[in-house]
Structure 1
């Protein structure tokens, strides 16, 4: 039966918006789906890299390590007296880091030419070597002697010795420092004033062991 062209145009005109709406919706849905997939893929890729690059994780780890390192370094019993300058050494002594070392139990009269009353501290490396009765002490062995003059409460100076090399080299392998009040008597390696007296000790160490 012949179709009236006019009616066909009217029917198509009525159906077109509906089809277009479904098609747009379908297209919109397809785009939304693609966008979602693309977004999910992008997010997944980004997330996959984040555990190793996230600022929070890295900052936290770095902070903890740094804090831990700083804490282990501050007051470290194995820290050595600086020997590059008298100023640096005096600042280190004033900080009291050596007071964590093994020490004589009390201030007592000096048995040597340091004058007045003293108290000696030895670092762990030297303490272990003295306990083992070694003939030669290791590099980095060190002592700090507090000098009190005629009193027992106020420190008026220090005597310090640090072994800088495995070989004592007739005392040249040791760094020597002594200050009493404002007078500095030694600040160098191999100071004859010091080695001449300490030469009779155990590898230049005169401090009795066990510590009294």
Structure 2
């Protein structure tokens, strides 16, 4: 598929900013994303990895995360992959010299062409998407609404239902924000929301975090306040 033209990106940014859609795609490797191009009946749950970042700019670290295999179901890969950019950031305000949203979407589309599918012989199943939500759980909810509508459209079946399992890929700094009570109404509400988000009986989501090495020291995930109960459940 050719890279998206300027009008596609501009229109997607505008629709997401105006919240006329819960999410928008600006690039896909084929028209059936997130479904497979070759499988008539997709697996359930449909396993989608999501690399959510500000992509200012996309880096080799982003590429390494996106290309990493699925450790929850080795040797199998994810069924689909998504690079996700929010037009509304919870922390980072636009600074002079930062790439514009339009430029980031273009660079993410270029990055998507470097992402491979770890299942031998399977064609890539990658997309670049936009949302207008600042927090992880809100982004997940917006994507679920969007994918419900997209799957209904792809299958020409308004009642089509498929279990979807998100795995969010992130760096250590992002994980710190996920476990920070300041992004939630209260600490108790944070644990309630994360409990649903990461529970098999709830949203059935997972988080994979790259370790951070600073001055030769390893940033230990289990040292993060609030991380222990989710580490114990393997989520």
Q: Above 0.5 in TM-score?
A: no
TM-score interval, normalised by the smaller of the two chains? under 0.3
Q: Comparing both chains, which one has the higher relative contact order based on Cα–Cα distances under 8 Å and sequence gaps of 6 or more?
A: 2
Higher helix share: 1
Higher CA-based Rg: 1
